[in-house]
Amino acid sequence: MKNKTAQKLLNKIENRTAVVGVIGLGYVGLPLAIEFARAGFSVTGFDLDEKKIRAVNAGRSYIKHIPPAAVQEISGREKCSATADFSILRKADCVVICVPTPLTSHQEPDMTYIEATVTVIARYLRAGQLIVLESTTYPGTTREIVRPPLEAKGLKAGKDFFLAFSPEREDPGNPTYSTSSIPKVVGGINPASLTVARALYDAIVPETIPVSSPDAAEATKLLENIYRSINIALVNELKVVFEKMGVDIWEVINAASSKPFGYTPFYPGPGLGGHCIPIDPFYLTWRAREFDTPTRFIQLAGEINTAMPERVVDRLASALNDEEKSLKGSRILLLGVAYKKDVDDMRESPALRLIELLQERGAEVEYHDPYVPALPRTRKYRYHLKSVSLTPSRIRKADAVLIATEHTAVNYSLVGENASLIVDTRNAMASLGRVKARVVRA
């Protein structure tokens, strides 16, 4: 390689003397820090949350699907530490950015976390460093938002320091795939940046997939999640159509899944959750407007998925009406508030919107979730609710049980034997066969 600075960094990565800094120790950053430490790198995690910093340094996990032993393993070897002192970025050879990219109240990209992080990195940037953005964003972010502040003091990307984008592919709670088993897409600002970024990730993943630019890597992540968003919207719409026809959408999906080619099953639900699917498509929609290009499929899918919580509540109200009860004043027991089964992740959970709608219509809401002891504060919601125990008496007192998340730890047999009405958005009761409760799918 002609670039001596790049070759020096490559040598450090190959002999594991490179220091890796991970900014943001959440669902993406923490597992990434663990894998770099396991690969033999010295890792420093950066975060503003003192609770996370104390937990990492004490060898404790604060994310359900990451076992405490994994954090103990790396902190015990003194390979990984956490801090809020960003001046230590000077010591890092490779800096990976894993900060949130939410939407504003107007459904536009909120780039404040990336911008603030890049401003701090620029303050301590030195020659020979690799900077990689992992936060999901629109095509052009690495070039237009990240690069200029880093070059403001005279260092040039691709020559004096190296810049790349490699989208995160975390799936919290997935028992089959984790950080170390998922290929990484990598796009560098130039060939030298691509080479060093691939070398870094080659140390922890089975394969790196090079693309021509950061823009292509940014677009890859959006395609992955838009694909899911549109297909989930499709089955959500079909659920409504088939319901009116007296056809069971779940039976249809299971039957279609027997086809060994040309079909991938997606499942309906009470709305979208997680940090990716409810948010990422709107990043491309916003960006496309700059090019006077409509994104009709994406926008329609967003409308369908966003409307699902309202439809669930309407279905619940109708089911109560059949029993000569009003939603107003009814006691609703919500089962599951995490955005998907068997995780403690509350990001963009549709359960939060369900609670809001139920309370607006006068219902009394309790919830049970074995992984979420209390509802956290979010940018939009400030609930003061704690998980209640799931007892026969509490189930019997509820006018309706609403299943929003199908955690496997929940005793659905107990629910079926004691509830009078169950509104099931996840097909959780199907495997039990006949139960005493009246079960309505929504």
pLDDT tens digits, residue range 238-297? 999 999 999 999 999 999 999 999 999 999 999 988 777 778 788 888 888 889 898 998
In the prediction, which pLDDT does 108 show?
87
pLDDT band at residue 414 using 50, 70 and 90 as cut-offs: very high
Region 321-347: what's the mean pLDDT?
95
Residue where a domain terminates, one of 178, 212, 246: 212
> Long-range CB contacts (< 8 A, 24+ apart) of 56-62?
56/25, 56/30, 56/80, 56/81, 56/82, 57/81, 57/82, 61/30
Name the H helices within 161-213.
191-202
Per-residue model confidence (pLDDT) at position 262: 95
For residue 351, how many C-alpha atoms fall within 13 Å in the half-sphere facing its CB? 33
* Cβ contact 329:364 at 8 Å: yes
Are residues 187 and 210 in contact, defined by beta-carbon separation less than 8 angstroms? yes
Residues 401 and 310 both lie in one domain: yes
201 shares its domain with 319: no
Task: Give the span between the Cα atoms of 49 and 425, in whole angstroms.
Answer: 35
Per-residue pLDDT at 77: 58
3-state DSSP assignment of residue 127:
coil
Write phi, then psi, for 298 (nearest 5 degrees).
-65, -45
Burial classification of residue 356, based on how many CB atoms lie within 10 Å of its CB (0-12 exposed, 13-18 middle, 19 or more buried): middle
Contacts of residue 3, defined as CB under 8 A and 6 or more positions apart, other chains included, come to 159, 192
If you write DSSP's letter for every residue of 389-418 in order, what string do you get? P--HHHHHH-SEEEE-S--TTS-HHHHHHH
Say if pTM beats, i.e. exceeds, 0.85. Answer: yes
Query: Out of 80, 94, 98, 276, which one is annotated catalytic?
Result: 276
Residues 341-352 have a mean pLDDT of: 93
Name the band, by pLDDT with cuts 50, 70 and 90, for residue 55: very high
The per-residue pLDDT for range 430-442, each reduced to its tens digit, is 988 888 999 999 9
If you average pLDDT over residues 11-39, what whole number do you get? 96
Distance between CA atoms of 424 and 440, rounded to whole angstroms? Answer: 6
Query: Is residue 222 one of the residues assigned to a domain?
Result: no
pLDDT value, residue 76: 60
Quick: pLDDT tens for 80-130: 899 999 999 999 999 999 999 988 878 889 999 999 999 999 999 999 999
pLDDT confidence bin for 378, thresholds 50/70/90: confident
| pLDDT above 70 (res 148) | yes
- Kindly report the length of the chain: 442
Could you tell me the strand order of the sheet in which 400-403 lies?
364-368, 331-335, 400-403, 421-424, 438-441
- Written as six digits, the tokens of 336 are 């599951």
What is the extent of the structural domain holding 129?
4-212
Q: Which amino acid is at 315?
A: R
DSSP string, 69-112: HHHHHHHHTT-EEEES-GGGGGG-SEEEE-----B-TTS-B--H
Residue 224 lies in a domain: no
Q: Do 192 and 242 reside in the same domain of the chain? A: no
Q: Tell me which amino acid residue 182 is.
A: I
Tell me the mean pLDDT in the region 225-250: 95
- The region that residue 413 occupies, defined by phi over 0 for left and psi between -120 and 50 for alpha, beta otherwise, is alpha
- Residue 369: name the closest of 393, 400, 346, 396 by CA: 346
- 401 and 300 inside one domain: yes
DSSP type of residue 175: S
Out of 13-27, 260-274, 398-412, least confident range: 260-274
Instruction: State phi, psi for 374 to the nearest 5 degrees.
Output: -150, 145
3-state helix, strand, coil in the chain (%, to 5): 45, 15, 45
- CA–CA gap between residue 303 and residue 411 (Å, rounded): 34
Among 212, 246, 264, residue at a domain's last position: 212
Q: Do the Cβ atoms of 160 and 191 come closer than 8 Å? A: no
Residues 39 and 132 in one domain: yes
Q: Is the pLDDT of residue 1 over 70?
A: no
Using the predicted structure, report yes or no on whether residue 170 has a pLDDT greater than 90: no
The pLDDT-based confidence of 415 (bands split at 50, 70, 90) is very high
| 18 and 160 fall within a common domain | yes
204 and 279 belong to one structural domain: no
Number of domains within the chain: 2
Rounded CA Rg of the chain? 24
For residue 429 the two structure tokens come to 């009761």
Tokens read off for 289: 């407007």
Q: What is the pLDDT of residue 73?
A: 86
pLDDT value for 91:
96
Asked if 83 contacts 94 with a C-beta cutoff of 8 angstroms, the reply is no
3-state secondary structure of 60: coil
- Are residues 120 and 17 located together in one domain of the fold? yes
Does residue 402 lie within any of the structural domains?
yes
Last residue of a domain, one of 212, 245, 271: 212
- pLDDT band at residue 187 under the 50/70/90 scheme: very high
| 94: annotated active-site residue | no
With residue 281 as reference, give the H or E element that holds it. Answer: helix 280-289
The C-alpha atoms of residue 371 and residue 407 are separated, in whole angstroms, by: 9
One domain, residues 183 and 264: no
The answer to whether position 218 is within a domain reads no
Residues 287 and 416 in one domain: yes
Q: What CA–CA distance (Å, rounded) separates 60 from 192?
A: 37
The residues with which 335 forms a beta bridge, in sequence order, are 368, 403
Give pLDDT, residue 431.
87
- Examine residue 431 and state whether it is found in any structural domain, yes or no: yes
Same domain, 176 and 273: no
Statement to judge: residues 174 and 243 lie in one domain: no
Tokens of 313: 């509540």
Q: Which of 152-161, 200-209, 379-388 has the lowest mean pLDDT?
A: 379-388
Residue-level pLDDT at 135: 96
Structural domain contains residue 317: yes
* Residue 22 within a domain: yes
The answer as to whether 313 is a domain residue is yes
CATH number of 135's domain: 3.40.50.720
